[in-house]
């Protein structure tokens, strides 16, 4: 059984076309450079749901429990770096990033896990 990294961004305005294209480019770059693509889930964003109009981005990526600690930490750090680039692209949003029950925090312009 693995744990999942969840991410949500909320704001009153939808993503612009430029933001959508940049986010897609970031996700593609990180998925292509992910060393464990054969063993673990890649980064995924849910389809936009207009019933939750404030949620402009949301998704989850499962981290497999079968990985050794080093690979698991690499995977977590890889996806947090991806989310950092996305957050720097999608401005003025309220973000929530967490690994199951453990919140990530925004410190010095990057995501990291709470200690």
What's the start-to-end Cα distance of the chain, in Å?
23
What's this model's pTM, rounded to 2 decimal places? 0.91
Identify which has the larger pLDDT, 67 or 25. 25
- Work out the pLDDT band at 53, boundaries 50, 70, 90: confident
Total count of domains within the chain: 1
Rounded mean pLDDT of 63-75?
A: 84
Contact 84, 111 (CB under 8 A): yes
Residue 22 lies in a domain: no
Non-local CB neighbours of 107 within 8 Å, separated by 6+ positions: none
Residue 32 lies in a domain: no
Among the listed residues 108, 83, 109, 107, the one whose alpha carbon sits nearest the alpha carbon of residue 97: 83
Give the burial class of 61: count Cβ atoms within 10 A of its Cβ; 0-12 exposed, 13-18 middle, 19 or more buried: buried
Residue 42 lies in a domain: no
> What is residue 51's three-state secondary structure?
helix
Q: What pLDDT, on the 0 to 100 scale, is given for residue 1?
A: 55
Distance CA(91)–CA(101), nearest Å, equals: 25
| Structure-token match 């890649």, residue found | 42
Residue 24 lies in a domain: no
Q: For residue 52, how many other CB atoms are within 10 A of its CB? A: 12
Residue 36 lies in a domain: no
Q: What pLDDT, on the 0 to 100 scale, is given for residue 68?
A: 85
Q: Which domain holds residue 76?
A: 1-15+50-97
Strand 102-107 and strand 110-113: pairing?
A: antiparallel
């Amino acid at each position: 059984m693995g744990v999942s990294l969840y991410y949500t961004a909320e704001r009153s305005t939808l993503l612009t076309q430029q933001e959508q294209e940049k986010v897609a480019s970031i996700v593609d770059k990180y998925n292509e450079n992910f060393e464990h693509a054969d063993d673990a889930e890649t980064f995924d964003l849910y389809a936009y749901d207009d019933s939750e109009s404030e949620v402009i981005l949301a998704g989850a990526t499962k981290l497999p429990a079968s990985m050794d600690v080093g690979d698991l930490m690499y995977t977590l750090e890889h996806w947090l770096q991806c989310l950092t680039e996305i957050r720097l692209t999608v401005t003025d949003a309220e973000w929530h990033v967490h690994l199951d029950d453990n919140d990530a925090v925004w410190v010095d312009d990057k995501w990291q896990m709470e200690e």
